[in-house]
Amino acid sequence: MAIREITAIEVAQLAPRLVDHMARIRRDSGALRPSAVESFRATQLQRFRVGTPCDSRIFVNDSLDQWLWIDTTLVDVYVEPPVEPWVDALAAIMGGKEILVHRFSHGDSFEFFDALALREIGHYLTAHVRVLGGLQEEGQEPLKRTDVFLRSMSAGELGEFTDAICESWGRHRSVVELNQTADELRKDAEATMRRTLYDGVSTPGHEVLAICTETQVVGGIWVEIDGSHAKLWKLYIYRPYRGHSYSRGALIALGERLRGEGAKRIRTELLPTQHHIREVFESAGFTLTEKVVGASA
């Protein structure tokens, strides 16, 4: 099978098929809500308005029904067995270097990825807010919540929360970011947090909440709300208070809060080393929708 770079005249023929593939695997995986599919397709097709997107290379077979789209990442891939020619092509294109890939839970081209060396870097999980709020599908038992409640975090409490989550993020991230130390990654996390929460606990669109029992603050949770969508930046239980299901209780309490604010879906990122917290998130209604991996042939 011949594998070659696409010609300019072929781009218009391939683009709709390629974009449909991208939209389908994201929708089926839960990474793209159904109501946003047409907007996603229009945005992606716009990238092809004058040919191959800027800084991209697309490799195809002669019948244009298999492809690799590469820019700084492996943007999209659809190949069928035998996959060895495609693996060899990727190795030649990348010169043996690793490339980032977003793999979706309902993706395809499994044989191709099985033939690559893969290194997990990040996990994305998504949930419907109604599930986090304890409203399950008909016939299911509602989620039980630990006796915790959420309140707005004070400016004074933000410092302890920032120190804890940035230290944790740097430590876990250093396992997958091979070229940076935990201390460097902690400083990166601090810079990101200062830039994002530019007005501290009063930053518009963000809620930084203390996780409380009747007698003490046991942790914190940081969420960003944009209309019907929410991003859970961080959830952290301070070390002395772990082992009491406070994380799960905080997620359920957050669901109740977000439902009252009109949010429908929530998304979060975890690291592959955070096995326990991923189990907690899944027990509260999150599902894995996407993985970021480093791939090399």
When the candidates are 3.30.870.10, 3.40.228.10, 3.40.50.970, 3.40.630.30, the CATH number that belongs to 125-296 is 3.40.630.30
Q: Which of 214, 232, 296 is nearest to 269 (CA)?
A: 232
* Predicted TM-score (pTM) of this structure: 0.89
Ordered alpha helix ranges (H), 115-219: 129-132, 155-173, 182-196
Phi, psi of 60 (to 5 degrees): -140, 165
Nearest 5°: the CA angle 216, 160, 234 is: 90
CB-count exposure of residue 142 (10 Å: 0-12, 13-18, 19+)? exposed
Q: How far is CA 143 from CA 101, 114, 128, 146, 266, in A?
A: 34, 37, 13, 10, 17
> Distance between CA 103 and CA 290 in Å, rounded?
6
- What is the spatial distance between Cα 171 and Cα 175, in angstroms, rounded to a whole number? 7
Give alpha helix (H) positions in the chain. 8-29, 37-46, 84-94, 110-114, 129-132, 155-173, 182-196, 246-260, 275-283
What torsion, rounded to 10 degrees, do the Cα atoms 20, 22, 25, 31 define?
Answer: -120
At 96 the pLDDT is: 86
pLDDT at 134: 61
Predicted confidence at residue 173, as pLDDT, reads 92
Query: Which tokens belong to 189?
Result: 């996390």
Domain 4-115 is in which class?
alpha beta
Supply φ then ψ for residue 246, to 5 degrees.
Answer: -70, -35
Range(s) within the chain of domains with CATH label 3.40.630.30: 4-115, 125-296
Residue from 241, 9, 271 nearest 125 by CA: 271
Measured between alpha carbons, how far is residue 294 from residues 155, 157, 170, 178, 267 in Å?
38, 37, 19, 11, 22
Q: What is the DSSP letter of 163?
A: H
- Nearest CA among 7, 275, 276 for reference residue 120: 275
Q: Is residue 291 a contact partner of residue 126, using CB atoms and an 8 Å limit?
A: no
Return per-residue pLDDT of the chain as tens, 297 residues.
799 999 999 999 999 999 999 999 999 999 998 989 999 999 999 999 999 999 999 999 999 999 999 999 999 999 999 999 999 999 999 998 999 999 999 999 999 999 999 999 999 999 999 888 665 544 545 555 668 999 999 999 999 999 999 999 999 999 988 789 999 999 999 999 999 999 999 999 999 999 999 999 999 999 999 989 999 999 999 999 999 889 999 999 999 999 999 999 999 999 998 989 999 999 899 999 999 999 999
Cα 89 from Cα 61, distance rounded (Å): 11
CA distances from residue 214 to 104, 148, 193, 244, 253 in whole angstroms, order as listed: 41, 8, 29, 14, 15
